[in-house]
Amino acid sequence: MGRRGFAFPPSTCQTETLGREFITSYMEDCGNSSQFEVQITGYFAFTSVSVSISNYPFDGGRFEEKIVVNQGEVVRVRLPESVGIKGVTKFSKVVLVKADKDISVVSVSNKHVSPETTVLYPVSSLGNEHYIVTPSTDSFDSYPEFSVMTYEDRNSVKVHVKGKLRFERNVYSTGTKLEIKLLAFQGYQLQGIANVSGTRIISEKPVAVLVGQVCFCNNTKCNHVFEQLLPVCSWGTTYIIPPLPWQEVDERVYITASQSTTVLYQLGEQQETVTLAGGSVLQLPVKPSIPVYISANVGIQVVFYSVGTAIPNSSHAFLMNVPDVASYCRMYSINAQEGFENFALMVANTPETGAIILDNQPLRDVVWNRVPGTEFVWGMHTLGPVIRSHAVEHPSSPFALLSVGTAAMDSYGIPGSCRKNVTFKYQTETLQIKEQLQMCKDVFLQGSNSEFCSFMNSTLVNLETMCAQDRAVSLQEVARPFGSFLNSSALSAGGNESKREVASTVTFLLQSVELAALTAALKSPEMKNQTVTTESMAIKTLLIPAADSCDEVFSLRAQEETMDIQCNTVTRAPTEGTCQTETLGREFITSYMADFGNSSQFEVQITGYFAFTSVSVSISNYPFDGGRFEEKIMVNQGEMVWVRLPESVGIKGSTKFSKVVLVKADKDISVVSVSNKHVSPETTVLYPVSSLGKEHYIVTPSTESLDSYPEFSVMTYQEPNSVEVHVKGKLHYLTQFYSTGTKLEIKLLAFQGIQLQGIADLSGTRIVSEKPVAVLVGQVCFCNNTKCNHVFEQLLPVCSWGTTYIIPPLPWQEVDERVYITASQSTTVLYQLGEQPETVTLAGGSVLQRPVKPSIPVYISANVGIQVLFYSVGTAIPNSSHAFLMNVPDVASYCRMYSINAQEGF
């Protein structure tokens, strides 16, 4: 059996999930008390949304709630319980959701522990012809229902009955035609005696149609199910249905034809071809773990029914539109529901699965399964149990996304909301900007006015519009709208805004211009080198081959001012007073300090991120077996290669040394250094030479063992260097002892280092160097709860210290661990262990030791940069774990993509 590729016929109407106006209603459900809400997802900053119930009085007045939703936010709006509609009736309780920018909306009807959901389609996607589908049930307490609603004009609706339908106190059977007149924002709810699937709805103007079952009973207790239908004009010809993650029984799929249609239904490897007359509805099974493939010669409607499962693995029934293959999208938003085990179910082209990302992170844990008869595969990914919006996307290939979830006695299914040209990637994500967005959201919610917030809104709208363009744009087009913003009163020092807000406004504007200019360059490959000068600013984009070979010059001229900038300055310059902390790079240096005992194994673990990366590991200036040690390897993307170093590379005592290990690569790599003594390997991440600094503060763990003593090592790179050691504690060097207050001056040649050891704790010792150095700290033999073992870590320079840190407890932790907080100047530190905050003022050079207790996270913040190191003291037998130390990353350094090395035997 060959696999099928698909040619997509043009649809006669668009099916969108994003829009600015939506209408819906809440049909009758089981019992009396229910909670109704709409979940609104934002895609742009400062989106104003109004939720109202048209023509319906609520507590003596019209119900309306206004909110502001930002990009990526989900806001829930609770509706009055009285919005629910009972019986067969005409109603004016049409819920209207209006926004000034695109949003997506999920409608929720929550009865006890059984919320049912549907994606709402905007009024621009409504149609004039629909076919009703209602699930069949044997329960006497249940009956099918549907609701037809019109928008802002009067409308005429014809109902071509199939089955038995109640209307105006009468019962109408198959073949009857009912005519209903509706005013603007009115609707009609109709209910059936039995299945009314195949009933045809024709309207003069577009309508929204909901279908459902008042009380669907099958394997579970009865629960309400409903879904908004798609109009006939948007039906597709090809569908794929993946099985549910928790599925144990046969589910159902309902296939509806609007005309004579030939349908191919393939369940796994088993094919069936059926011919349907217009108005026919075919019910077929969806079995556990087996995907379904459906194709037809003309458009068909496909609705999935999960019938639920009984206790103990109880899940409730739900219904869901199945997206047709032609409507697959490259970017989706889905809402995980609170308290559920949420899943993203995906269908994708076989060769394209590796490029799908979730919330800007690659999907690595998806098992993809073949869909027989097609070139597609299906897979699932588990999401968190909290309500939040997730962005799922592929850079080039459309795929399908369904959001499904299960909980005790409950489940749901919702198609993902296709974002099409809406992308999150170009917007600023700094903490400062996020704070300002929240502040301005509160301003707008209060109905207040702010020059600064209005300016931010205008700038964001322009940036969003620019980034959503599906065409190449010139730098001139980028500059034009931003130029007018520079004359805004929000940038005037004499305006009403604070100096902080003016500074933030300027920063935000420059970031926005930068992002828009980058977008223009990337979308215009033939115009990456562009220059534009306006009355108020000059912008230049320049394509360079590589940062390390950049010798071009930016020459910017505006308002008779000239600025010449080397592009190396642009690509490499850090913010004044700070420096970059990277773990990927091309050159690294390290050494192996003294550890307890005699025999050790030393190695570097090298991880590759690009194919065919050439790496050299050498010991500079140090003879090994009569020659210089050097090992060359090749590492590929995702590979980890271990390079064993000679045992003689280890350094003993307080001494100057030339055993500096140099790792060089022709593409970016990351490196972990390992010192392995018997069953006690200790590790540290190495930082590339580009992340080294000139000022460090030593931290060494305290121990009461007489066999142990603290040590540190300072290494220089490819040039001679001068190092000052401002001693704190007591250390020995060149047969002498030096105490607190002493300053040592040490001269080092290229690729040389010095190892210094102390009598007791050396924490607070300051290292200042003329050129950047690498600094290792440790304990020769750390003894606390366990046998002695060597611990060490590479320190970060002062210029890279952060102000906010979070320390989660270890998974196996049974005793108090330690955290060491170092200040380089007078510093106020907030240390919070669980719910208990403590504020401490530290002098420069002080090191504060505090506990990290089992199962309790630690939060630390400071008014200036601090160094935070975590020490695990180890645990004794029978649950023995050895000590180790580790840099704690500051919150500002958090990243979207990581690589970590699992260690063998752990």
- pLDDT band (50, 70, 90) for residue 426: very low
Dump pLDDT digits (tens) for 68-125.
888 778 899 999 988 999 989 999 999 999 999 899 999 988 765 557 889 999 999 9
**Residues in the chain, total:** 906
Q: Which CATH number fits domain 801-894: 2.60.120, 1.10.8, 3.30.9, 3.40.1620?
A: 2.60.120
pLDDT 10s digits, 587-646? 999 999 887 665 578 899 999 988 888 999 998 766 555 567 889 999 988 889 999 998
Q: Does the pLDDT at position 8 exceed 50?
A: no
Q: Is the pLDDT of residue 704 over 60?
A: no
Cis peptide before 312 (omega within 30 of 0): yes
Q: How far apart are CA 780 and CA 732, in angstroms?
A: 15
In the chain, what percentage of residues exceed pLDDT 90?
40
CA distance 122 to 19: 5
Inform me whether the pLDDT recorded for 558 exceeds 60.
no
How many other β-carbons are positioned within 10 Å of the β-carbon of residue 874? Answer: 21
- The pLDDT value recorded for residue 374 is 92
Find the helix or strand (DSSP H, E) in which 55 lies: strand 47-58
Q: Which residue has the tokens 């009956």?
A: 143
CA distances to 97, 670, 790 from 605, in Å: 56, 8, 18
* Interstrand relation of 766-782 and 789-794 (parallel, antiparallel or unpaired): antiparallel
Task: Please say if the pLDDT value at position 576 is more than 50.
Answer: no
For residue 432, give every residue at least 6 positions away whose Cβ sits within 8 Å of its Cβ, in sequence order, or none.
504, 507
Cα angle, residue 333 at apex, residues 332 and 335 outer, rounded to 5°: 145
pLDDT at 574 over 70: no
Instruction: Tell me which of 30-39, 369-378, 507-516, 891-900 is least confident.
Output: 507-516
Q: Is the pLDDT of residue 662 over 70?
A: yes
Looking at residue 201, what is its pLDDT? 97
Measure Cα distances from 361 to 61, 391, 683 in Å: 47, 10, 26
Q: Please tell me the distance from the alpha carbon of residue 145 to that of residue 224, in angstroms, as a whole number.
A: 11
> Are 333 and 343 contacting, i.e. CB atoms less than 8 angstroms apart?
no
What integer pLDDT is reported at residue 323 of this predicted model? 93
- What distance in Å separates the CA atoms of residue 792 and residue 787, rounded to the nearest whole number? 16
Give 44's DSSP letter.
S
What does the domain layout of the chain look like in residue ranges?
237-418, 456-480+508-541+555-567, 577-797, 801-894
Q: Please, which pLDDT band fits residue 726 given cuts at 50, 70 and 90?
A: very high
Q: What are phi and psi of 498, to 5 degrees?
A: -70, 160
Is the pLDDT reported for residue 435 higher than 70? no
CA 191 from chain centre, in angstroms, equals 43
Does 310 score more than 80 pLDDT?
Answer: no
Helices (H), 231-341: none
Closest CA to 555 of 566, 547, 546, 563: 563
Max mean pLDDT among 170-179, 550-559, 734-743 falls in: 170-179
Reply yes or no on whether the pLDDT at 129 is more than 50.
yes
- Please name which of 216, 74, 255 lies closest in space to residue 135, comparing C-alpha atoms: 216
Comparing C-alpha atoms, which of 821, 805, 831, 833 is closest to residue 894? 805
Instruction: Assign 510 to helix, strand or coil.
Output: helix
**Residues in CB range of 525: below 8 A, 6 or more apart:** none
Tokens of 700: 């060494």
User: What are the tens digits of pLDDT across the range 453-502?
Assistant: 666 666 666 666 665 555 566 667 766 666 666 665 555 544 445 655 66
Regarding predicted confidence, which is higher, 187 or 389? 187
> Coil, strand or helix: which one is 594?
coil
pLDDT value of position 809: 87
- E strands within 687-788? 693-697, 710-716, 721-726, 730-733, 736-739, 743-748, 753-758, 766-782
HSE-up of residue 613 (Cα within 13 Å, Cβ side): 26
Integer angstrom CA distances of residue 836 from 45, 446, 860, 861, 890: 36, 34, 12, 14, 21
Calpha distance 472→281 (Å, rounded): 46
